[in-house]
Amino acid sequence: MAARTVSPGSMVLALVIALFLWGVAHGSSSIERSFDVPVVLHGVPDDLVITDQTADVVNVRLLGSPAALRNVVPEKLQYAVNVANAKPGVAEFEVDPSGLDFPRGARVIARSPARIEIKFESRVTKSVRVRPQLDGEPAAGFEIKSVEVEPPRVRVSGARSALMQIVDAPTETLDVTGQTAPLVRDTRVVLGVNHVWIEDAPSVKVHVEIQAKPPAPPPERRGKRG
Q: What distance lies between CA 165 and its chain's CA centroid? A: 21
Tell me the helix, strand and coil percentages in the chain, rounded to 5: 15, 50, 35
- Determine what percent of the chain is predicted with pLDDT higher than 90: 68
Q: Which residue has the higher pLDDT, 163 or 26?
A: 163
pLDDT digits (tens, 9 = 90+) for 53-93: 999 999 999 999 898 898 999 999 999 999 999 999 999 99
Q: What does the alpha-carbon distance between residue 130 and residue 208 come to, in Å, rounded to a whole number?
A: 14
CATH number of 122-212: 2.170.120.40
Alpha helices in 8-166 (DSSP H): 8-28, 66-70, 160-163
Q: What is the pLDDT of residue 1?
A: 47
Provide the CATH topology of domain 30-121: RNA Polymerase Alpha Subunit; Chain A, domain 2 (2.170.120)
Query: Cis before residue 113, ω within 30 degrees of 0?
Result: yes
| Domain regions of the chain by residue span | 30-121, 122-212
pLDDT digits (tens, 9 = 90+) for 181-202: 999 999 999 988 999 999 987 7
Mean pLDDT of 103-130: 94
pLDDT digits (tens, 9 = 90+) for 145-179: 999 999 999 999 999 999 998 999 999 999 999 99
- State how far the alpha carbon of 100 is from the alpha carbons of 30, 82, 92, 95, 97, in Å: 20, 14, 20, 11, 6
